[in-house]
Amino acid sequence: MADRSLRGMRLGAQSLQSEEGVSFSPRVNHSYRCGTCGRDTVMTFSAEAEAPEAWECKHCGHEASLIVDSKPVVIDHSEDKIARTHWDMLLERRTIEELEELLEERLVALRARRGTQKVSV
């Protein structure tokens, strides 16, 4: 009997649940203004959640600042960790003079292996 009640039904395409008796949590909208393109992005958060100071702009992808009292919040980036490159880490271990000396040693070894080493007389 159960087979007949589902015959012709698109399983998974439609929900059999109704929204009757469902209470949604309170929501609040926060606006963010992009400093690059100048557009506003409106995001919906739970009323209990604290809105972040920055959000990615949905138009250009740059950082947008939270707008409070029609003014963007100033975000302090002084404590942000700056990414170090391989070059920065190398310069912590060696000086430019040491690197030039190592480069010259490697070039001499490569030229000798290729047989193109110039012999100084």
Question: What pLDDT, in 10s, does the model give residues 16-36?
Answer: 677 788 888 899 999 999 888
Q: What is the token pair recorded at 79?
A: 């404590």
Which residues of the chain form CATH 2.20.28.270? 27-72
Model confidence over 66-94: pLDDT tens digits? 988 877 777 777 777 888 899 999 999 99
User: Does the predicted model carry a pTM greater than 0.85?
Assistant: no
Q: How far apart are CA 36 and CA 79, in angstroms?
A: 22
Pick the CATH number of 27-72 from 3.30.70.20, 3.40.1050.10, 1.10.3720.10, 2.20.28.270: 2.20.28.270
Compute the average pLDDT of residues 40-63. 89
For residue 55, give both structure tokens: 């959000």
Backbone φ and ψ for 2, nearest 5 degrees, come out as: -65, -30
